[in-house]
Amino acid sequence: MVKEEQEESSNRPDNTAFTQQRLPAWQPILSASIVIPMFLLIGAAFIGVGVALFITSRDIQLQELDYTGDDSEHPCFKCRTNTEKCTCSMTFSIPTLFKGPVFFYYGLTNYFQNQRKYGASKDDNQLYGDLDYFTNPSTDCDPYTRDSKNMPIVPCGALANSMFNDSFSLSHTVNGVQKIVPLDGKGIAWWTDYNIKYRNPTLNSVFFSGTKKPTNWPKPIYELDTTDVYNNGFINQDFLVWMRRAALPDFRKLYRRITHDDYADGLPAGNYTLTIAYNYPVHSFNGKKKVVLSNVSWMGGKNDFLGIAYIVVGSMCVVMSVVMLIVYARFKFAEDV
Amino acid sequence: VDCSLYSPGQLNTFFSKKTFVRCVMVSTYTSLVLFFIPWAAMQDSVRGDGKDVADYQSFALSTQTSLMIVVSAQMFLDTFYWTAINQFFLWGSIAAYLAITFTFFSNGLFFVFTSSFPFIGTARNSLKQPNVWLTMFLTCLLCVLPTVAFRFLHINFLEKIRKFTRFQKYKAREEGQPAPAPYRPPPRRVSTRRSSYAFSHSQGYGDLVTSRKFLRLKRRPSLFGRNQSPLVENQPQHYRTITEEAEESQT
């Protein structure tokens, strides 16, 4: 008898809180006094935030200029079929002071940078300056890995090959005289892209000797900006901005900032002329090109959706809390009957 | 004895068509909200300093983080007893997600495995923006609040509403007719004590086995003649029938 008891007790689990499932626990209960005030509070907070977002978004100024030239009356219509370098100018006017700092974006529509095969077609090792990948680019870049003579392409891949190459200049008409608005192209890409993700190999053109430029580029990568060595090669700001794939088919990318001299406070009201070096073809896929001038706020660019969504969800929460309160009152008193 | 482990089977709460349809509806709604709210909020958006935030990697990060938070919130709602272990694992899973995300997006891993970790810098650049956080907050609450509201109403008021409507019907009839006879379930031949075996949620196959269908010989054309089949050599099998009386005497 004693032996059986000892055998039993060796298999018996310990009598601790953990093994006997007696741990102290908190049990949240969805009671009326918690849920109804919670909904009301959330609703009120959301409406407040929504109103703030909506007002902020409303105050942001935005000007879009489509320069694809689809319309035959458009000044850039002649550039559509022209395969050589073509320049066109558009005039526009700004009705009131466009508060600074003003940001100059280029926008593309119907352009799917988020397509998987296209977006994955690049070699991160090459872009980091690893010379082994200069002579032997990764096969992710196919068919833009090597050119027709089997020379490796640097930077390889479809994403780099399709880099946007229109350039713009803006001038302000003051008393009949065209005054150039200075555009600042420094620091338009992410700090991490410029300093960490993309690196040039130590000496520029020497290591590019066995390689070729991408097929659709007019100049090789080490001639993107010959005036500034910190903006040349893989760390060129426009190149970095292009390589940051957009999530949606209608996107805009930062081109320049208007922060210098007379225009530091913004663009005064008046007539302006936009001169475009029209190189990038978008007609084959019904895309459109445009220039967007915008100022920003703490919540970013102009987007009414978030403000409206917050107001709508906040009102629904308030309505829901009122409904729950009615149900609670009705059936609480009904139970006493 | 705590019989709560048997109640999902008895009440058929997990494998019914109603539950499946409800699950599909909730999942569809959550998926649509998780994608379209960040999509709409990201249209033409930029950072507070004018730089890009509508890029593919930031969009992926914000959707992914919203999803994690929604799933964790659903788990929070489903956990009835919050012991120390539950707290550790539930909060720990969110902490682990954040730790892993920041590790994958860090400089160190990028330097070692360059082409495998292209998301470098995304968390640092997008998660500092208030509009990204506001988008994620809106998405998570929009996914979770309907569940909370429905559960609140269901738990607290379903019984009361049913009792109330039954009371109303009873009161309406009281004037004209005598009180209805108390509800008695129709007498069933099957024992009401169900076994805790695999088919606890349904009647199982007891009826089929006890219906003696197995004993009926069907007149079918046979492949072999009666004198040629190898089975002819065997003795016929005797079947032991399991009757109702025998079952009840066991329970």
If you average pLDDT over residues B105-125, what whole number do you get?
89
Q: A182 and A40 share a domain? A: no
CB contact under 8 A, A197 and B130: no
Instruction: State ipTM.
Output: 0.88
pLDDT score at A51 = 96
If you average pLDDT over residues A99-110, what whole number do you get?
92
To the nearest whole number, what is the mean pLDDT of chain B? 78
DSSP run (H or E) holding B139:
helix B130-174
Beta strands in chain A (DSSP E): 62-66, 86-94, 98-99, 102-109, 167-174, 177-181, 251-258, 266-267, 270-278, 288-294
Q: How far apart are CA A35 and CA A283, in angstroms?
A: 56
What are the angstrom distances between the C-alpha of B178 and each of A32, B173, B186?
38, 8, 22
CB contact under 8 A, A188 and B51: yes
Question: Does residue B229 surpass a pLDDT of 50?
Answer: no
Per-residue pLDDT tens for A309-326? 999 999 999 999 999 899
pLDDT score at B160 = 75
Rounded-to-10 torsion of CA B193, B198, B200, B206: -60
**Helical H segments across chain A, by residue range:** 2-11, 32-59, 116-119, 124-127, 132-135, 158-161, 191-192, 237-243, 304-336
Instruction: Tell me how crowded residue B210 is: count the other CB atoms within 10 A of its CB.
Output: 17
- Residue A22 domain-assigned (yes or no): no
β-pair type (A251-258, A288-294): unpaired
Q: Which residue has the higher pLDDT, A222 or B61?
A: B61
Q: How big is the A-B interface in CB pairs under 8 Å? A: 175
Least confident of A282-286, B91-95, B141-145: A282-286
Alpha-carbon B28 to chain mean position: 14
A64 torsion bin: left (phi>0), alpha (psi -120 to 50), beta (else): beta
Q: A185 and A316 share a domain? A: no
Q: A101 and A237 share a domain? A: yes
- Residue A4 domain-assigned (yes or no): no
Smallest Cβ–Cβ distance between B45 and the set A32, A49, A303 belongs to A303
Query: CB-based burial of residue A211 (10 Å sphere; 0-12 exposed, 13-18 middle, 19+ buried)?
Result: buried
- Residue A13 domain-assigned (yes or no): no
Domain coverage including residue A321 = 32-60+298-336
CB contact under 8 A, B56 and A253: no
CB contact under 8 A, B148 and A30: yes
CB contact under 8 A, B121 and A247: no
Least confident of A42-46, A225-229, A242-246: A225-229
Q: Which amino acid is at A281?
A: P
pLDDT score at A309 = 95
Chain A residue with the nearest C-alpha to that of B59: A247
Three-state secondary-structure class, residue A58: helix
pLDDT bucket at A136, cuts 50 / 70 / 90? confident
* Cross-strand partners of A91: A273
- Shortest alpha-carbon distance between residue A36 and chain B (Å): 9
If you average pLDDT over residues B96-120, what whole number do you get?
90
Q: A187 and A272 share a domain? A: yes
Which of chain B's residues have a Cβ under 8 Å away from the Cβ of A331?
157, 160-161, 164
State the best of B34, B52, B80 to mutate against chain A, taking most chain A CBs within 10 Å: B52
Q: Which residue has the higher pLDDT, A140 or B214?
A: A140
Q: A104 and A115 share a domain? A: yes
Question: Does residue B67 surpass a pLDDT of 60?
Answer: yes
Domain count, chain A: 2
Which of chain A's residues have a Cβ under 8 Å away from the Cβ of B43?
248, 250, 303, 305
Tokens linked to A88: 């066109």
- Residue A16 domain-assigned (yes or no): no
To the nearest whole number, what is the mean pLDDT of chain A? 88
State the best of B33, B34, B46 to mutate against chain A, taking most chain A CBs within 10 Å: B46
Q: A154 and A268 share a domain? A: yes
- Residue A2 domain-assigned (yes or no): no
Name the residue ranges covered by the structural domains of chain B: 3-142
Q: A163 and A292 share a domain? A: yes
Which of chain A's residues have a Cβ under 8 Å away from the Cβ of B44?
250-252, 301-303
- Residue A324 domain-assigned (yes or no): yes
Q: Which residue has the higher pLDDT, B244 or A169?
A: A169
- Shortest alpha-carbon distance between residue B65 and chain A (Å): 16
Q: A163 and A211 share a domain? A: yes
Smallest Cβ–Cβ distance between B44 and the set A42, A252, A317 belongs to A252
Q: A303 and A265 share a domain? A: no
Which of chain A's residues have a Cβ under 8 Å away from the Cβ of B83?
23-25
Q: A279 and A318 share a domain? A: no
Which of chain B's residues have a Cβ under 8 Å away from the Cβ of A103?
46, 50
If you average pLDDT over residues A20-34, what whole number do you get?
82
- Residue A17 domain-assigned (yes or no): no
Q: What are phi and psi of B111, to 5 degrees?
A: -65, -35
Q: A281 and A142 share a domain? A: yes
If you average pLDDT over residues A270-292, what whole number do you get?
92
Q: A41 and A114 share a domain? A: no
